[in-house]
Amino acid sequence: MPAPLSIIIPTLNAAYKITPCLASLGEALEAGILTEVIFADGGSGDDIADIADGVGASIIKTPKGRGIQMAKGAALARGEWLLFLHADSVLTPGWVAIAQAHMQGKTTAGYFTLQFDETTLPARIVANWANMRARLFGLPYGDQGLLISRILYNNIGGYRPIPLMEDVAIASALRGQLTPLAARITTSAEKYRAQGWLLRSLQNFMLLMRYKSGVDPAILAAQYKDQAPEN
């Protein structure tokens, strides 16, 4: 039976932070379910190509923007299932068994339970809110990962090639077809630490509200350059 899973990681100057993410994928290789790892690179100026070569990943060059990058990566992927991950997110041990169970028994897309790489009170509050938002409103963000079958991905039209809010767009398209997975994913709090937990959270909320009110993602990306994806 061929390995069913392609893992797609959008990258942009992510060489300095991607190693923990890649290390967490070793479980999939050991379990024999990994078809390939694809770096969809939006124009990095670092040594990401050397890292891809060193771990046996494919790398493709795309225009900048996570939605564009992940759509291009998915178009080249060969697996029956696709797993989209951010370069600064790390899957916790035991995730493969949970992903396998989902792939064998579910037709819905899956996402992981979020935690940050620090255990401060603000970090716990923001992570708990993100997990609650995902469960109650069907809006997991990209840093929670997305495990989706090729069939379902194609049926909903995949990732939209937009410069911002691509994760909200695909979650909206998947409304009623998203399942929380009983495994955690640890993502970097780098941007929260840089901007402050409250300010970053408020900006994220305002972005969501403006997008939901119909503001063009290109306008949002231009106005919130600090929020534009750096993978």
Q: Is the pLDDT of residue 230 over 80?
A: no
Burial class (CB in 10 A: 0-12, 13-18, 19+), 185: buried
pLDDT tens digits for range 79-92: 999 999 999 999 99
Mean pLDDT of 94-109: 94
> Could you tell me the pLDDT band of residue 223, with boundaries at 50, 70 and 90?
confident
Q: Is the separation of the CB atoms in 169 and 212 below 8 Å?
A: no
Q: Please tell me the total number of residues recorded for the chain in this structure.
A: 231
Residue 224 has pLDDT above 80, yes or no: no
For position 71, which CATH number holds? 3.90.550.10
At 15, list the tokens.
Answer: 């060489």
The rounded distance, in Å, linking the Cα atoms of 219 and 225 is 10
Domain count along the chain: 1
Tens of pLDDT, residues 8-66: 999 999 999 999 999 999 999 999 999 999 999 999 999 999 999 999 999 999 999 99
Does pLDDT of 227 surpass 80? no
pLDDT value of residue 21: 97
What value does the mean pLDDT take over residues 202-227? 86
pLDDT beyond 80 at 1: no
Could you tell me the residue range of the domain that residue 154 belongs to? 5-227
Q: What is the mean pLDDT of the chain?
A: 93
